[in-house]
Amino acid sequence: MDSTAPLKSKMNDGTKAGLGGEVVSLVKNNIRDYMMYIALICIMAFFTIQTGGGFLQARNIANLVNQAGYVAVMAIGMTIILIICHIDLSVGYVAGFSGAVAAILMTKYHVNEWVAIVIVLIMGLLIGLYQGLLVTKVGVPAFVTTLAGMFIFRGLLNRSLQETGTIIIPNEGFNALSNGFIPDIVSGSSIHVLTMIIGVILVAALIWTEIKTRINKKKYNFEVISMPIFITKLVAISAIIMAIMWVLASYHGIPWTAVIVGIVLIIYNYMLNKTKLGRAIYGIGGNAQAAELSGINVKKVTLFAFASVSVMAALGGILYTSRLQSATPTAGVAFEMDAIASSYIGGVAVSGGVGRVTNTIIGTLVIMSLTNGMNLMNIDISYQYIVKGLIFIIAVAFDVRSRKK
């Protein structure tokens, strides 16, 4: 009996007349997502006030993007792992070790920077396969496998930088990944023109896909939000995109990091939402046994998830090393904490089966805004951890509560 209750109540909400009713039911049904956006806006507003506007300055926004990049790619990989009810604790030191290997390849062996990057990404893949095989073939729980990985890769990181200490990286191309900006097509303009053009293209693409989806949904008589709310939503999102682009354009334009994160995000989002592999990932997270009996090769998909998260860790390591323009023995410490927290704040269910990489990016922005803002305010790192931990646990507690209803 109770099983039909939410079903009927949803139908009632839909028929409730008036815009007000629809807004109320929208908020009710999506409270989890909305809370995340509200939290992000509150955090940003708080820091903007505390820093006298410094937080929202173009330079700081570009900075924030560059700082958040390595966490974002790792969190995207982590999201897949968490959806299928596993975990990877080793990503931090895998990232640190990858950065060190890249630095050694470029400085000691004078490998071309782009070749070095490819080698490091392949190394990440091999690390992921090693851990994934332990989990799928041998049957060691992911928690234990990757905890052992923390030991191993921390050791390898320290070992590889033992003799040289911190390695300064001279390669400009490599360092531009997390410090550079895309070039402009017009020179001498006070505004970065290409950035604005990309902004307009993004907005156009957004409107086009949203309208297409809406028409499709209507064709199949699915519930759609009413026209005024639809338009309000589109205008609001477009305004936010254009505002961000405007801020970036008034500085140096779009950072390369944003381009890399954007490409990774598009690939993962497409994979999760449009392909068989994505369906399999959600299926395994929802009920692995049922997925297996539906013809999904659970072990293969799990192996893929581990390979992918380690490649993302290697990429994160490259971005972080590029950001510092050097490889240091302390790189990678606690990265896994930020990556896991980003995923959960972004709405991955602690019980698995639910999660979106687009929301994970919002989670990353929450975590990294906290870091960035508190740094601007000169708050001690010890307090930063405490604050991040509290926000993390509040978000998950809220998530668990709202899913129960």
Partner 1 sequence: MSDYILEMKGIVKEFPGVKALNNVNFKVKRGEIHCLVGENGAGKSTLMKVLSGVYPYGTYTGDIVYDGEVQKFKRIADSEGRGIVIIYQELALVPELSLYENIFFGHEIMKGGAIDWNETIVQGKAMLDKVGLRADPSMKVKELGVGNQQLVEIAKALSKNVKLLILDEPTASLNEDDSQNLLRLIKELKSQGVSCIMISHKLREITAIADTITVLRDGATICSLDATERQIEEAEIIKHMVGREMDNIYPKREKKEPGDVALELKDWTVFDPSKDREILHHININVKKGEIVGLQGLMGAGRTELALSLFGNPTGYKITSGEFILKGEKVRFKHPKEAIKKGLAYVTEDRKGNGLILMQDIRYNITIANLEELVNGLAINENEEINVANGYKDSINIKAPSIEQKVGNLSGGNQQKVQLAKWMFAKPDVLILDEPTRGIDVGAKYEIYSLMNKLVEQGMSIIMISSELPEVLGMSDRLYVMSEGVIAGELSAEEATEEKVMAMAVRS
By the criterion CB under 8 A, which residues form the site for partner 1?
1-12, 216, 220-223, 270, 274-276, 279, 282-283, 286-287, 289-297, 353-354
In whole angstroms, the minimum distance from the beta carbon of 231 to partner 1 comes to 23
By three-state DSSP, how is residue 306 classified? helix
Q: Which is nearer to partner 1, 57 or 297 (CB)?
A: 297
CA atoms within 13 A on the CB side of 160: 26
Degrees to nearest 5, angle at CA 391 with 349 and 61 = 100
In whole angstroms, the minimum distance from the beta carbon of 122 to partner 1 comes to 23
CA 156 and chain centroid, separation: 26
Q: Which is nearer to partner 1, 69 or 132 (CB)?
A: 132
CA distance 114 to 351: 39
Cβ atoms 58, 250 nearer than 8 A: yes
Q: Which is nearer to partner 1, 110 or 219 (CB)?
A: 219
CA distance 322 to 200: 29
CA distance 136 to 297: 11
In whole angstroms, the minimum distance from the beta carbon of 49 to partner 1 comes to 39
In whole angstroms, the minimum distance from the beta carbon of 136 to partner 1 comes to 13
In whole angstroms, the minimum distance from the beta carbon of 274 to partner 1 comes to 4
Q: Which is nearer to partner 1, 288 or 370 (CB)?
A: 288
CA distance 45 to 39: 10
In whole angstroms, the minimum distance from the beta carbon of 263 to partner 1 comes to 16
By three-state DSSP, how is residue 224 classified? coil
Q: Which is nearer to partner 1, 42 or 290 (CB)?
A: 290
> 169: which DSSP letter?
P
Q: Which is nearer to partner 1, 221 or 382 (CB)?
A: 221
Cβ neighbours, 10 Å, residue 280: 21
